[in-house]
């Protein structure tokens, strides 16, 4: 039996859909009934028989930060995909990320060791890598002297828990995806960018980043799970794309006007301050990240997926095809 954490998130939900299409029964962890609706919506949009596919999933109510609630989820499980994580650049989420990303991962690998799990796939992030090489590879090691976001620190420390478990005998693989391109989770990440373009966006950040299609992540995860590779990490980031190119592609497929003014740091700082003020008077609002607005948007790191390509003879979905599919899915419900 396969156990999936983060099954109500972007990567985990697509993984569950893939496995269900293959007729594979799985267990998936959830925290509340409302969160399962996100996965159900993906299944409904992607299948003519979503109910039958969902029936292959046994949902187990548990919290990765509560090892007592996790223990029953491991019954009869042989393989684990750990995709659960909190992704945030909001300072108020620092402790939450420490609890879920670090302590939660420690709980998962400890139970995996206790239950003799045959293989453990951990979804990390390019944020857990160093940034001083060009391109950045699996050998670009973390440097505490560099500035890191709270999210990056939590993902790095979560990897340390997985490597520790690997040394203790757990067959494990770590996957480091870049920014994920995937549909039906429109309230964050790429989805939020589409919303901004659809409503009209004037400015574009001058930097860039690595991007990867969610289906390529799922393909890599399942190939790594089914193969003999253990105690290795792999970057999965085929597209080094400037934000201007990304937003232009979105605008093209949406039939909207593309952003035309480069964002400078003065404007970025004003936007950051405005969002902070708005968050002060509206507790439900999440302020823009200072790191995101003043650093990330102005940098353009490059990543190498050569190790993954060689190990799995891997090929990627072309960037424009990925974007076209994303916008096609968006248009179906907007």
**For a pLDDT cut of 90, what percent of the chain falls above it?**
76
pTM of the model: 0.94
For residues 72-88, average pLDDT: 97
pLDDT tens column, 30-63 = 988 888 999 999 999 988 788 999 999 999 999 9
Question: Domain boundaries in the chain?
Answer: 2-185+210-238+302-317
- Give CA 304 to chain center in angstroms: 18
Mean pLDDT of all residues belonging to the chain: 92
Q: Which residues pair with 172 in a beta bridge?
A: 120
pLDDT tens digits for range 256-310: 999 999 988 887 777 767 766 656 666 666 666 666 677 788 889 999 999 999 9
Nearest to 56 by CA among 70, 71, 39: 39
For residue 246, pLDDT over 90 is answered with yes
Residue 200 DSSP symbol: -
Q: How far is CA 189 from CA 14, 216, 313, in A?
A: 16, 17, 29
| Separation CA 19–CA 214 (nearest Å) | 14
**Upstream peptide bond of 135 is cis (omega within 30 degrees of 0):** yes
What is the bridge-based pairing of β-strands 179-181 and 239-242? unpaired
CA distance 129 to 159: 10
Q: Which CATH architecture has domain 2-185+210-238+302-317?
A: 3-Layer(aba) Sandwich (3.40)
Whole-angstrom distance, CA of residue 201 vs CA of residue 188: 17
Q: Which of 226, 223, 243, 208 is nearest to 315 (CA)?
A: 223
């Amino acid at each position: 039996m396969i156990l999936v954490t983060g099954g109500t998130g972007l990567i985990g939900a697509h993984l569950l859909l893939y496995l269900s299409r293959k007729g594979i029964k799985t267990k998936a962890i959830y925290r509340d009934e409302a969160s399962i609706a996100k996965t159900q919506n993906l299944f409904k949009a992607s299948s003519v028989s979503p109910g039958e596919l969902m029936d292959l999933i046994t949902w187990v109510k548990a919290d990765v930060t509560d090892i007592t609630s996790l223990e029953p989820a491991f019954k009869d499980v042989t393989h684990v995909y750990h995709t659960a994580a909190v992704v945030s650049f909001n300072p108020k989420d620092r402790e939450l990320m420490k609890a879920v990303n670090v302590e939660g991962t420690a709980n998962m690998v400890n139970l995996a060791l206790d239950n003799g799990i045959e293989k453990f796939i951990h979804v990390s992030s390019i944020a857990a890598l160093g940034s001083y090489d060009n391109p950045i590879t699996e050998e670009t090691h973390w440097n505490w002297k560099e500035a890191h976001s709270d999210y990056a620190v939590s993902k790095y420390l979560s990897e340390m828990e997985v490597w520790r478990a690997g040394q203790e005998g757990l067959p494990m693989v770590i996957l480091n995806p870049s920014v994920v391109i995937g549909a039906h989770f429109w309230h964050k990440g790429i989805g939020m960018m589409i919303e901004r373009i659809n409503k009209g966006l004037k400015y574009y950040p001058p930097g860039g980043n690595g991007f990867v299609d969610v289906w390529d992540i799922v393909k890599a995860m399942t190939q790594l799970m089914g193969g003999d590779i253990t105690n290795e990490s792999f970057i999965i980031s085929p597209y080094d794309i400037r934000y201007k190119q990304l937003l232009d592609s979105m605008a093209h497929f949406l039939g909207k006007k593309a952003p035309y003014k480069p964002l400078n740091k003065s404007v970025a700082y004003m936007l950051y301050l405005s969002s902070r003020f708005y968050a002060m008077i509206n507790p439900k609002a999440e302020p823009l990240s200072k790191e995101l607005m003043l650093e990330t948007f102005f940098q353009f790191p490059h990543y190498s997926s050569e190790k993954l390509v060689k190990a799995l003879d891997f090929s990627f979905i072309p960037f424009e095809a990925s974007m076209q599919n994303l916008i096609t899915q968006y248009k179906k419900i907007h």
